[in-house]
């Protein structure tokens, strides 16, 4: 099985995501590798491990050590959007835009009135688009109890752009 020793020299990661340490509980270097416990973070829902008093995401460690990043992308993407699926074939380097495109492709992007925080629906947005030149942004914002900024973003087709 493929494995790489991390830069510190006292930890290694296997291609299946298992992380091992050569440090004992007293932080002394020993010969035998011991398996470290992966913990599923409640806040981020990623598998994590603690290395040198710092929490590291397993998918990032895998990508850094096993996936070439020739374009210098900052993000590690889960191609199927399942945060706990750390198989190498499911991980890829990318940027925020590419990650968002993955969400849309995999059907995990919530748009419009389906979003739990939405104050508008399609009917209201169509009304706004139809009357954007007849009323001020403030008047429309007050009518629908939303911000003037949201009305402007709808007008510029940056929000609710899927509505014709």
SS (H, E, C) 111-153: CHHHCCCCCCCHHHHHHHHHHCCCCCHHHHHHHHCCCHHHHHH
pLDDT tops 90 at residue 27: no
Stretch among 14-23, 40-49, 96-105, 148-157 having the lowest mean pLDDT:
96-105
More confident of the two residues 29 and 141: 141
pLDDT in tens, 62-81: 999 999 999 999 999 999 98
Average model confidence (pLDDT) across the chain: 90
> How big is the chain by its Cα radius of gyration, in Å?
23
**76 closest CA partner among 52, 59, 101:** 59
Domains of the chain (ranges; CATH) run: 1-109 (3.90.75.20), 112-155 (no CATH)
Eight-state DSSP code of residue 89: G
What pLDDT score does 91 carry? 96
Distance CA 130, CA 74 (A): 41
- Give the pLDDT mean for 6-31: 87
Alpha carbon distance 50, 108 (integer Å): 30
pLDDT value for 104: 82
Q: Residue 63 contacts by C-beta under 8 Å, 6 or more apart in sequence?
A: 69, 76, 91, 92, 93
């Amino acid at each position: 099985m493929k494995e790489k020793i991390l830069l510190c020299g006292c930890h290694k990661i296997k291609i299946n995501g298992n992380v091992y340490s050569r440090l004992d509980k007293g932080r002394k270097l020993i010969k035998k590798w011991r398996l470290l416990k992966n913990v599923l973070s409640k806040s981020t829902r990623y598998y994590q491990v603690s290395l040198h008093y710092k929490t590291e995401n397993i998918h990032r460690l895998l990508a850094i050590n096993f996936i070439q990043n020739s374009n210098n992308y900052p993000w590690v993407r889960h191609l199927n959007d399942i945060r706990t699926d750390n198989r190498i074939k499911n991980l890829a380097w990318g940027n925020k835009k590419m990650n968002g495109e993955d969400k849309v492709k995999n059907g995990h992007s919530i748009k419009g009135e389906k979003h739990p925080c939405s104050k508008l629906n399609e009917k209201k947005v169509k009304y706004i688009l139809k009357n954007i030149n007849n009323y001020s942004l403030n008047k429309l914002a007050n009518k629908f109890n939303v911000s003037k900024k949201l009305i402007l973003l709808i007008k510029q087709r940056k929000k609710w752009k899927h509505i014709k």
